[in-house]
Amino acid sequence: MSRKENSDSKQITLFNEEVYNTKPFLKWAGGKGQLLQIIDERLPKEIRKNKIVENYIEPFVGGGAVFFHLKNNYTLKKATLIDVNKELVVGYQVIKNNPKELIKKLLSLEKEYLQKEESTRKEFFYLIRDEYNDQLKSFDYQKYNEEWIQRAVYLIYMNKTCFNGLFRLNSKGEFNVPFGKYKNPKICDNENILQVHQALQEVTILCGDFSLARNYVQKDSFVYFDPPYRPLSSTANFTDYSKDGFSDEEQKRLADFFNDMDKQGAHLMLSNSDPKNEDPEDNFFDDLYKDFKIERVKAKRAISCKGSGRGEITELLITNY
């Protein structure tokens, strides 16, 4: 297959087909919302023609924008979502299993937060963040229980009230993003949570390394890889979604895995940053994926500490078909 080329709320269409508008339940750095149309246009021809995905696997699900887009517009017969971020997986599992309890607690927290003055909101944010980090000492990530619901509440609350909606962990695994000054943040989108709940039914959700996908990839599966982007510069590293980060060595290991899955007969798509935005001579990904189709697509930088860093850049889309 290699190429050498470089809730329940729904709308009814005129054709009585259900159209869902499910979207990510978290703001997520590197989310693919703005690239969905570009990605859709580059899906395997059979998927676009038949509107059916037999077996979808996403080894870095993150906010899940691509998964939800496919769920909204295609029939996914089987889906497996994987992420190394334990907190993120807690959120997905809670919405899948206990959406009503989550909504009830989240609405209560939202009401308490929005009634406060800005200075008090800031104190409240850091109080919740401290509680969230203190939970690390005893939290059981292996066995689903009632504590998962409260942890998901805190995760969503902080995501909607912290600076830029970032998710960043320090070396101890503690959430360390500062307070964000939002006047009226929508902390609990109960309608969307219920739609996410519906979308996740019959979906396998796993916490672990991307290599777990090996156990689920079959011939003609569609696998979308959206790893933490390689930073464009030394000051633009927003990839610490897990305490261990994602180094160039990890990028190389992923490229080896991509090659292996290509040999399994799966259809593969991978996105990443384009180093040539900063250095035209940087062939890091061009060399890693030289046997596959590499396309440069336009995107707007979503996160930057400087306003001037939010202009249009190119990102990479790599496919084996």
The answer to the question of residue 55 being in a domain is: yes
Is there a single domain that holds both residue 181 and residue 144? yes
Amino acid residing at 4: K
- 225 and 80, same structural domain? yes
pLDDT in tens, 265-286: 999 999 999 999 999 999 999 9
For the chain, first and last CA: distance in Å?
A: 6
CATH at residue 256:
3.40.50.150
| One domain for residues 110 and 79 | no
Cα separation, 192 vs 23, whole angstroms = 7
Does the residue 1 lie in any domain? no
H runs (alpha helix) in 30-117: 36-41, 45-50, 65-73, 86-97, 99-114
Please tell me whether residues 75 and 118 are part of one structural domain.
Answer: no
CATH number for 145? 1.10.1020.10
Asked if 171 and 137 sit in the same domain, the reply is yes
Concatenating the DSSP letter of every residue in 256-276 gives HHHHHHHHTT-EEEEEEE-GG
Flag whether 200 is in a domain.
no
For residue 259, count CB atoms less than 10 angstroms from its CB and return exposed for 0-12, middle for 13-18, buried for 19 or more.
middle
Same domain, 77 and 214: yes
Q: In terms of domains, do 231 and 308 share one?
A: yes
Is residue 128 domain-shared with residue 57, that is, in the same domain? no
**pLDDT tens, residue by residue, 231-250:** 876 554 444 555 557 899 99
Domain ranges, residue 212: 11-84+208-319
Domain count, the chain: 2
pLDDT tens-place string over residues 8-65: 444 333 333 455 799 999 998 877 888 999 999 999 999 999 999 999 999 999 999 9
Domain final residue, candidates 190, 223, 248: 190
User: Considering the entire predicted model, what is its pTM?
Assistant: 0.89
Six-digit token string for 296: 């440069």
